[in-house]
Structure 1
């Protein structure tokens, strides 16, 4: 299907990194801005993310971006730590171009960063976390053991740079960033939606329950039957429901489309 037109944007973070982004205007009058954060090794330019941005643009304008160290953005990936500054840059841009309400929607690593951004820096009106880890260093599934190999081993970082255009920092976090579940406890009174699939091969359901359990009200938990992981498994129907949830928090704008 043809995607809604988007326009390139170059963002600047508070630590002076250039972040590649795109703005998809709303299809109809809307004052809701949606900041879309991709998963690890993803990009706003990938087909799955573009499809999600297209669907969400029926509910508000979408600012999608590449995390640091990903795609055309500068710097190195810190795998969930300084990425909160990338989300902050996208949120500030959404405000600057006129969106009165801003909701962050993050998938996998992007979901963890959306939680941490809202809990640590704030400045958003609602948060949607999809397929996110609750805690760091989880190795309980084979896909996550492969992710840790890519992050921790020199050959893994080389493979990720050459194969996925993702540049990862060396070394370990110092200090350890606040865990996503702990950040979720600091988001209230902003509404939080936690979405997780019961067929997620990366993170089992206890991650979603931990995030939801620590979060304050208002909050919702959607356990999606048969849903796998993150952007590639998200159906248009699920994305439309997420967009509808965001709109319902603030009242429907004029001219909302759902196609």
Structure 2
């Protein structure tokens, strides 16, 4: 990435990694390959060592209507930051980022920019942890950069060393639960997008996907050998348990599956104890 105006970092070329990871929090605006400005934040690990090359950065991909400054995202970052540096960002159309949400399609470019920034800051090991929509994005992103990926554009600086997908759908256009029927109304209807913009502070793109991106279940087989963890609650009101089971099955035994008893959906339902386990898994799996 190269430095841009007003403190922006663009995705055109990667600067040499820093020799020492920053010891204080940072805020930056990142530029994606398709020209969208993304707000991002870096928090150093509270137990960080001087061995930057061996240190881990976890990039957190929030759910739909989230953002890096939302309290539930800050809580996630706080728990994961006990043993790793954490990069949070707001997907396009969310928070202080530009553009409009495409609900899981072009968001892979946003994650690309955040992962590249983590590597520029000196981290040789980077794991992605995504929730709900973000969970689908980390799967597609890992597939694009996996050895078997068909969409890979040679951006090796955006590859990940471990992937955690929490509360993600297995397939697109799912309407089998009342919350998902409400979400489809929000995304597809003009009145719904007005509610999204002014009620949920989320700006939603008005056009349909064209082409339709690879689904999470289509992406999972392309992720190996990158370690993959799938986490889902047995009380998830959005996506029932057939979704994580389909994802795990599609991995051909490569993915590890955690079904969490009593857990609901995404960041709000992820207890600190679970987040700590996810952080420990990411640190071990990323090598």
Normalized against structure 2, the TM-score is what? 0.84
Partner residue, 1:176 = 212
Q: Does 1:69 align with 2:93?
A: yes
Aligned with 1:185: secondary structure?
helix
Q: Structure with the greater relative contact order (CA < 8 A, sep ≥ 6): 1 or 2?
A: 1
Per-residue Cα deviation, 1:165-215 (whole angstroms, up to 9, x for no partner): 111111211111000111111000000000000000000010000111111
Deviation, 1:120, is 1.6
The yes-or-no answer on 1:222 pairing with 2:258 is: yes
1:96-175 alignment runs, 5 A limit: 96-122=120-146, 123-175=159-211
Distance 1:44 1:209, change over 3 A: same
**Mapping of residues 178-197 of structure 1, within 5 Å:** 178-197=214-233
- The number of residue pairs the alignment matches comes to 248
Corresponding position of 2:73: 49
What is the Cα-based RMSD across aligned positions, in Å? 1.4
Q: Which residue of 2 aligns with 1:204?
A: 240
Q: Report how far residue 216 of structure 1 moved.
A: 4.4
Which residue matches 2:44? 25
Structure 2: give runs of 5+ residues left out of the alignment: 1-23, 50-54, 147-158
SS of the residue corresponding to residue 146 of structure 1 reads helix
Paired with 1:137 and 1:195, the residues of 2 have a C-alpha distance of 21
Task: Give the C-alpha shift of residue 162 in structure 1.
Answer: 0.3
Q: 1:142, 1:39 → 2: CA distance? A: 18
Which whole-Å deviations, capped at 9, do the CAs of 1:222-245 have from their partners, x for residues lacking one?
A: 000000000111110000000010
Following superposition, the deviation at residue 217 of structure 1 comes to 5.0
Flag structure 1 segments of 5+ consecutive residues without an equivalent. 252-259
Distance across 2 between alignment mates of 1:131 and 1:6? 28
Q: Residue 175 of structure 2 aligns to a residue in which SS? A: coil
Deviates more, 1:69-78 or 1:120-129: 120-129
Q: Distance in 1 between matches of 2:127 and 2:252?
A: 17
3-state DSSP of counterpart to 1:195:
strand
Cα pair 2:127 2:286 within 8 Å, conserved: no
Normalising by structure 1, we get a TM-score of 0.93
